Structure 1
Amino acid sequence: MDTVLAAFKFVQGLGPSVMMPIIIFILGVILKTGVGKAIRAGLTVGIGFIGLNLVIGLMSSNLGPAAQQMVERYGLSLSVIDVGWPAAAAIAFASTVGTVIIPLCLLINIIMLLTNTTQTVDVDIWDYWHFAFTGALVAIITDSQIFGIIAAVLNMIIIMVIADYTAPALEKTNDLAGISLPHGFSGAYVPIALIINKMIDMIPVVRNINIDLNKIQNKFGVFGEPVLVGSVLGLIIGIVAGYDIGPVLTLGITLGGVLVLIPKMAAMLMEGLLPISDAASEFIEKRFKNRGKIYIGLDSAIGIGHPITLAVSLILVPLTVFMAVILPGNKVLPFADLAVIPFMFVLIIPMVNGNGFRALVTGILTIAAGLLIATNLSPLMTTAAINAKFKMPEGAMAISSICDGANPLTWAIVHLSDIGVIGVCILAAVALIMAVMNRKRIMKEADELHAVNDN
């Protein structure tokens, strides 16, 4: 077992741009796409991830200092420091739950596939850290590693069902065929988006408001294109941050470029995944007649290129800082994770059918709630960091993050588990009901698909 864990840790440590090509190549060989095609698919996916990471890094490195400048300019003094998702991931993987999370999640995925309770082959091993993070916090609050591991498993099952449920809408909105996003952060906001969307449907006049960038682009031509939208939002953020004219212009052009480049990098990643996705569907069709469509589960980075996702996220960067100041009860100073706000919207956008107004309303409400959640979970995350021997920022007494410290699903799982056995049983019942309902949907889809093929 130690050897197996060491092997997983080695592959995980290579990072997504190296890890994913290896996984895609192995999948391609297993699915009999041919060694040449498997190598090409793996390398193309790796290059796509490199491109995405470069562009996301460009966005982060420009948004981060702007956010810090806003904080300094307006003299904000909040006691909990947002240390960002890389720190959260490191803390998660350094926990006891983190040491077993990869083989455990792979096993759960196989069981769910065999029992028809999921359609997703989750190859995004790196992002298993989201489940480990939840498990690590549960282990602390319950003083039980067993409860922590159970919580991580139940978190994954819930997210896998959400990934299946959102895949058709994701394909329609983002043109990502054969892809699902079993992402612990992005998936957590789907139930909230559905509830808010339903509430807006009940409000006359408001329910008719729709901000659609495609329609705006058709109406205003070049002034509605993502490059202009991103540039204008970048200029506004720079002005609010108090930048001089040069840095303001640089930020504007950079964020305009981000809105153009991310979809292109995602398209390259999709090019590599297409033969694997087709082979997986063919493999399942031949060997398992009672299965529906199969999805390849990937990182949410592939979905942040939607223009509404990026536009709404950029609007929310200064709004998040403003809300952190005025929100009663909030102690979190948002900083390092402001650049991950687009990941929050990847699955919200399909749930509101690409409506920018509804996405913005959902975003304001979820970020406000998220800041309070991050404040509430900060003592647990701080303890987890100390246990993992994480080097705390100078002067920081408490830390948190937007991803996953503000995650509503993580918060619900942690506090249900804190009740004890009863809470864990309630959580297990919810996960089981979701899995059974998902199985019924999958079987119905499979029957319909085979009826069409027979005709």
Structure 2
Amino acid sequence: MWSQIGQGFMNGFQFFINCGATVMLPVIITIVGLIFGLKITQAFKSGLTLGIGFAGIKLVLDFMTTNVGPAAKAMVERTHVHLNALDVGWGSIAAVTWASPIIAILIFVILLINIVLLVLKLTHTLDVDIWNYHHMAIVGIMVYFVTHNVFLGVGATTVTAIFTFKLSDWSQPIVEKFFGMPGVSLPTISALSSLVIAVPMNWVLDKIPFFKNSKFTIKDAQKYLGFFGDSMIMGLIIGLAIGGLAGYDLQKVLQLGVSMSAVLVLIPKMTAMFMEGLMPISSAAQKWSQNKFKGRKLFIGLDAAVVVGNPDVITTALIIIPLTIAMAIFLPGNRVLPFADLAVVPFRVALVVALTNGNLLKNIVIGLVVTASLLWCGSATAPVLTAIAKSVGIKLTTGGSMLISSFAATSMIQSFIVYFAFTYHPEICVPILLLVIAGIWYYYDKIKKINVSIDENKN
């Protein structure tokens, strides 16, 4: 009897998988919402909204790859610049993540890790930003896809989550000081991962008086920006440039320009449906967590979107965006054609700006190194990401061997390091990674804390 029940369960589970992500996603999110105490109507509406958002992402992605894929291929052939991995944007990658058959397991693993760390007082960050769990989950999904080992996949997401929550704790003081947000941390990997590069680079640049004492200000930079910083205009310019380099006639160049402008407007709108669907669940998760951890010092973990509107952040991003496009062409080993995720460069530089206390010259130098790492890591993992997208039902009608990539997923240095450790001789690399994380943990929780206490006593 039990075997028949088990088989019936597996058949039902397989039925939903075969229905595809647009059906499976609403079911998963409805269940998650019910667990956190939402009414069945609220939970189902949230799930259905996410399903609609995923369907919209698929349509926009197909439209984009249909238009820019052949143009990018022609550009490569004419210019001999081998950029065959199209940046389709973090929203598309998030859709791929939430459509994975193991996403439900990984979401509960991340939530459980946060709760356990809070209970053990190993973190002060209460991450209520359920939406951005996808940044941690995609690492495990990619590891699982490569290794076909669910334990390695869960392990990769576990390590990513633990390091993310600790980075949130360690970076909370600069968030509070620079952005004026007491009691808030930012456990968003798309912002946090930059600190893995920015912290050592900032230490080095502080030893060089030219960078440390730079007087180049935001007002100096803003004189040259404004109209061209709009994502709509950015998409138009990029589309026109690709069409021109592809050798298209004027009519097709103009059509591609408007099409790419439309994509940069539509992708955020479709992505917004994901966030709209998850907002009720995020609020319910926040209430549930606060009830369980009364009387504790907590940092509320929010989406880094709350700080990217800062003038220093926007100015730095608008300077880095065109430099990133130029760098993509000449950077050795790069295969990524930057496009959709140029709009989220502010997320990648937000905590860099806070770390340097707004030193614009240091922001630009560190920001370019960060975006170079995004291009390299994105190039390395584009084949896997493309295969996963196809496996969840996204048809990439690029008319050739075009791959997809993004400035999200394992393009981010923190996520890439974990992905690499769990897929390349994990029996050796994973222990080394854990030792490095343990060393960083000890330094920031023990040594640096002691040094801060000594400095405060002197004052």
Q: Which residue of 2 aligns with 1:427?
A: 433
User: Quick one: structure 1 residues 121 and 238, their matched pair in 2 at CA, closer, same or farther if it must change by over 3 Å?
Assistant: closer
Picking from 321, 340, 343, the partner of 1:339 is 343
Separation (CA, whole Å) in 1 of partners of 2:153 and 2:166: 20
Separation (CA, whole Å) in 1 of partners of 2:234 and 2:171: 32
Are residues 1:197 and 2:217 paired? no
Following TM superposition, by how much is the alpha carbon of 1:159 offset from its aligned partner in structure 2, in angstroms? 0.8
Count matched residues. 365
Are residues 1:87 and 2:92 paired? yes
Are residues 1:108 and 2:113 paired? yes
Q: Which residue of 2 aligns with 1:163?
A: 168
| 8 A Cα contact 1:169 1:350, kept in partner | yes
Separation (CA, whole Å) in 2 of partners of 1:394 and 1:102: 32
Per-residue CA deviation, residues 69-99 of structure 1 (Å, 9 max, x unaligned), is x979997762111121122112222334422
Are residues 1:179 and 2:184 paired? yes
Q: Which residue of 1 aligns with 2:226?
A: 231
Q: Which residue of 2 aligns with 1:49?
A: none
Cα RMSD (Å) of the superposition? 4.5
Q: Which residue of 1 aligns with 2:30?
A: 10
For 2:388, the aligned partner's letter is A
| 8 A Cα contact 2:125 2:298, kept in partner | yes
Are residues 1:188 and 2:193 paired? yes
* Percentage of identical aligned residues: 30
Per-residue CA deviation, residues 326-357 of structure 1 (Å, 9 max, x unaligned), is 11211111111111111101211111111111
Following TM superposition, by how much is the alpha carbon of 1:8 offset from its aligned partner in structure 2, in angstroms? 5.6
| 8 A Cα contact 1:200 1:206, kept in partner | yes
Are residues 1:369 and 2:373 paired? yes
| 8 A Cα contact 2:193 2:413, kept in partner | yes
Q: Which residue of 2 aligns with 1:120?
A: 125
User: Quick one: structure 1 residues 11 and 431, their matched pair in 2 at CA, closer, same or farther if it must change by over 3 Å?
Assistant: farther
For 1:346, the aligned partner's letter is A
Following TM superposition, by how much is the alpha carbon of 1:383 offset from its aligned partner in structure 2, in angstroms? 2.2
Separation (CA, whole Å) in 2 of partners of 1:131 and 1:301: 17
Separation (CA, whole Å) in 2 of partners of 1:419 and 1:139: 14
Separation (CA, whole Å) in 2 of partners of 1:429 and 1:93: 31
Following TM superposition, by how much is the alpha carbon of 1:157 offset from its aligned partner in structure 2, in angstroms? 0.6
Separation (CA, whole Å) in 2 of partners of 1:283 and 1:210: 48
User: Quick one: structure 1 residues 7 and 118, their matched pair in 2 at CA, closer, same or farther if it must change by over 3 Å?
Assistant: farther
Separation (CA, whole Å) in 2 of partners of 1:442 and 1:208: 25
User: Quick one: structure 1 residues 384 and 117, their matched pair in 2 at CA, closer, same or farther if it must change by over 3 Å?
Assistant: same
User: Quick one: structure 1 residues 210 and 146, their matched pair in 2 at CA, closer, same or farther if it must change by over 3 Å?
Assistant: farther
| 8 A Cα contact 1:122 1:297, kept in partner | yes
| 8 A Cα contact 2:336 2:378, kept in partner | yes
Which residues of structure 2 form unaligned runs of 5+?
Answer: 1-8, 14-24, 39-59, 242-252, 266-278
Picking from 344, 349, 353, the partner of 2:353 is 349
Per-residue CA deviation, residues 43-88 of structure 1 (Å, 9 max, x unaligned), is xxxxxxxxxxxxxxxxx9xxx9xxx7x9799977621111211221
Separation (CA, whole Å) in 2 of partners of 1:225 and 1:97: 46
Instruction: Tell me the secondary structure at the aligned position of residue 347 of structure 1.
Output: helix
| 8 A Cα contact 2:191 2:350, kept in partner | yes
Following TM superposition, by how much is the alpha carbon of 1:391 offset from its aligned partner in structure 2, in angstroms? 2.1
User: Quick one: structure 1 residues 353 and 97, their matched pair in 2 at CA, closer, same or farther if it must change by over 3 Å?
Assistant: farther
More deviation in 114-123 or 388-397?
388-397
Which residues of structure 1 form unaligned runs of 5+?
Answer: 14-18, 27-59, 217-223, 256-268
